[in-house]
């Protein structure tokens, strides 16, 4: 019985210590001047230059949300024109808010796999960034998206029941 309790306790501790990814970023001074993909994770593409930070997120419905901010201050880029090219096609992104654009799902296809070309034009400057178009997210089962913390919550009642049984069991000896 002690062995089972120790194994459950170890499992609970190990799953609760798993770190989860989160939004946010750190700016390293040694980053390259060339616009290169900083991170591609599922339905998200992050690109950066010394002036601009751009994130493209593919929504569940297939739409592409594009966000751009000033690299140094993280302030949304206001008054900036965005041109998006996918392969040989030129797409018009709807201006949603300062530093935020939307390309509706109807303009994108499942075959859109070539590099996506983003051109941002501000007052006296132009930045060009390229990266793969984020794929349309695939629906996943709830069990696949649970974090290690959810497992801990499921195992704690079992651990408590086992501990109570051990205390209520008569001493042998």
Report pLDDT for 39: 43
**Residue 73 contacts residue 79 (beta carbons within 8 Å):** no
Question: How much is the pLDDT for 17?
Answer: 46
* pLDDT of 58 higher than 80: yes
Is the confidence at residue 32, as pLDDT, over 50?
no
Q: Cα separation of 35 and 42, whole Å?
A: 20
Q: At what angle do helices 2-16 and 148-168 cross, to 10 degrees?
A: 160
75 in a structural domain: yes
- Report if residue 87 sits inside a domain: yes
- Region 85-97: mean pLDDT is 89
Among 136, 117, 150, 119, CA closest to 18 = 150
CATH classification of the domain holding 104: 2.60.40
Place of tokens 């075959």: 111
Token code pair at residue 88: 């040989």
Could you tell me if residue 151 is inside a domain? no
Closest among 43, 74, 47 to 61, alpha carbons compared: 43
Q: Say if residue 43's pLDDT is above 70.
A: yes
The residue range of the domain holding 122 is 39-132
Contacts 24+ apart (CB under 8 A), 108-111: 108/62, 108/63, 108/64, 108/133, 108/136, 110/136
Mean pLDDT value across residues 75-91? 91
Residue range 111-138: average pLDDT?
86
Q: Which helix (H) or strand (E) holds 107?
A: none
Single pTM value for the model:
0.57
Q: How confident is the model at residue 150 (pLDDT cuts 50, 70, 90)?
A: low
CB neighbourhood size of 101 (10 A): 22
Q: Rounded to an integer, what distance in angstroms lies between the CA atom of residue 81 and that of residue 42?
A: 27
Q: How many domains does the chain have?
A: 1
26 part of a folded domain: no
Residue 97 reports pLDDT greater than 60: yes
Contact 69/101 with Cβ under 8 angstroms?
no
> Which whole number is the average pLDDT over 91-118?
86
Return mean pLDDT, the chain.
Answer: 73
Poorest-confidence range of 58-62, 83-87, 106-110?
Answer: 106-110
Q: What's the distance, Cα to Cα, between the start and end of the chain in Å?
A: 16
Section 47-74 average pLDDT: 93
**Residue 93 carries which DSSP code?**
P
Task: Note whether residue 166 is domain-resident.
Answer: no
């Amino acid at each position: 019985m002690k062995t089972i309790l120790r194994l459950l306790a170890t499992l609970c501790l190990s799953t609760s210590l798993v770190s989860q990814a989160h939004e946010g970023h750190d700016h390293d001074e040694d980053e390259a001047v060339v616009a290169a993909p900083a991170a591609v994770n599922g339905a998200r593409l992050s690109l950066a230059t010394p002036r601009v930070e751009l994130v493209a997120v593919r929504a569940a419905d297939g739409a592409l949300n594009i966000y751009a901010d000033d690299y140094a201050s993280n302030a949304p880029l206001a008054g900036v024109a965005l041109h998006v090219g996918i392969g040989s096609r030129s797409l018009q992104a709807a201006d949603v808010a300062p530093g935020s654009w939307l390309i509706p799902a109807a303009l994108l296809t499942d075959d859109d796999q070539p590099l996506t070309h983003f051109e941002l034009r501000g007052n006296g400057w132009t930045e060009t960034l390229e990266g793969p178009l984020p794929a349309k997210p695939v629906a996943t089962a709830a069990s696949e998206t649970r974090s290690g913390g959810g497992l801990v919550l499921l195992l704690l009642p079992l651990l408590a029941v086992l501990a109570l049984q051990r205390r209520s069991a008569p001493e042998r000896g």
